[in-house]
Amino acid sequence: MASGFFALLDDIAALMDDVVVMSKISTKKTAGILGDDLAVNAEKATGFVASREIPVLWAITKGSALNKLIILPIAFLLSAFAPWAITLALILGGIYLAFEGAEKIYEFIVPHKEETVEVDATTALTKEEIVLAEKKKVKSAIFTDFILSVEIVIIALGTVIGKPIHFQIIVVTIVAIIATIGVYGIVALIVRMDDFGYRLVRLGEGEKSVATFIGNLLVNALPVVIKALSIIGTIALVLVAGGIFVHNVDFFHHFLEQIPSFIRDFLVGLLVGFAALLVVKLVKLFLPKKEKQ
């Protein structure tokens, strides 16, 4: 009886070791999307009155948690009864990620007219209008998070496909929790960076004090940090997408095998991304003409 109990403990310990290892691998695989998720949400959580930044971020965090509660059971059911659907979803998701990365690169390289919104500075927003604008931005952030959460879950699930279902559930759930707490915890620190900087400036004794210098540095660093995260996230998106195609499509698996894997993943991601971007551009170009007829 005792030997059976200790054998069970040994099995549990072995399982947890495997879970830790696979969780690290899955988190590493989803790092690109987590970086993009971080950049997107840091951008969406800024621009509010300081007193509303944390409540808005908390609302987005709860929406993100709800997204994953919806996505996870569906993903596990597909894994149990239609594993092929996970691979298909992985490839389709890879195309979307590659397209998103290529579109950002295209918009950076090719000059285009930016939409500007004229705001009447003499007209103050009412409390109801502020609340409405806040809710609209929160909904937009939660919708974006839903798309990214699907990719995070699918990619994490793809790393443990073929393993027992209970193993998949534990690993992917851990990754989903890390994605939610980690991303939004870091976003909370980022959006409060400038407020902390302003406090240091107030505490500083003159312009040449250390507190004032650090405070100004933090205030000025916020837009730079968000921009840097956006660039890093874009590169990571292309790399993640390329890795999906290389590991799941035979043609790309043997494509440019002589070069380093991360360069190959990036090139494959770019090729697929710009191909998808071209298709979307052509559809947008010809679709209005059909509507006018």
Identify the pLDDT of residue 254: 77
SS3 label, residue 126 = coil
Which of 114-118, 122-126, 229-233, 235-239 comes out lowest in average pLDDT?
114-118
The pLDDT score that the predictor gives to residue 274 is: 94
Return the pLDDT at 273: 93
Q: Mean pLDDT score of the chain, rounded to an integer?
A: 75
**Of 107-116, 123-132, 171-180, which has the strongest mean pLDDT?**
171-180
Q: Indicate whether 66 pLDDT > 70.
A: yes
Q: How far apart are CA 76 and CA 147, in angstroms?
A: 17
What is the arithmetic mean of pLDDT over 3-21?
46
- Which of 15-19, 21-25, 31-35, 68-72 is the least confident region? 15-19
Contacts of 215 (CB under 8 A, 6+ apart): 196, 197, 198, 199, 200, 201, 202, 203, 204
**Measured CA distances, 132 to 115, 144, 206, 252 (Å):** 21, 19, 41, 47
DSSP H or E segment with residue 189: helix 165-191
Interval 70-95 mean pLDDT: 84
Mean pLDDT of 57-85: 86
What is the Cα–Cα distance from 66 to 40, expressed in whole angstroms? 18
Percentage of the chain exceeding pLDDT 70: 73
Q: What is the pTM of this model?
A: 0.67
Other C-beta atoms closer than 10 Å to the C-beta of 173 total 16
Instruction: Answer whether residue 120 shows pLDDT above 60.
Output: no
Q: In this predicted structure, what is the pLDDT of residue 276?
A: 93
pLDDT at 131 over 50: yes
- Range picked from 35-44, 47-56, 112-121 for highest mean pLDDT: 47-56
Q: pLDDT tens for residues 167-216? A: 788 888 888 888 888 888 887 887 778 778 888 888 877 777 788 888 88
Separation between Cα atoms, residue 285 and residue 146, nearest integer Å:
28
Q: For 221-254, how does the pLDDT look when each residue is reduced to its tens digit (9 = 90+)?
A: 878 887 787 787 788 778 878 888 888 888 887 7
Question: Does 84 have pLDDT greater than 70?
Answer: yes
Phi-psi region of 162 (alpha: psi -120 to 50; beta: other; left: phi over 0): left
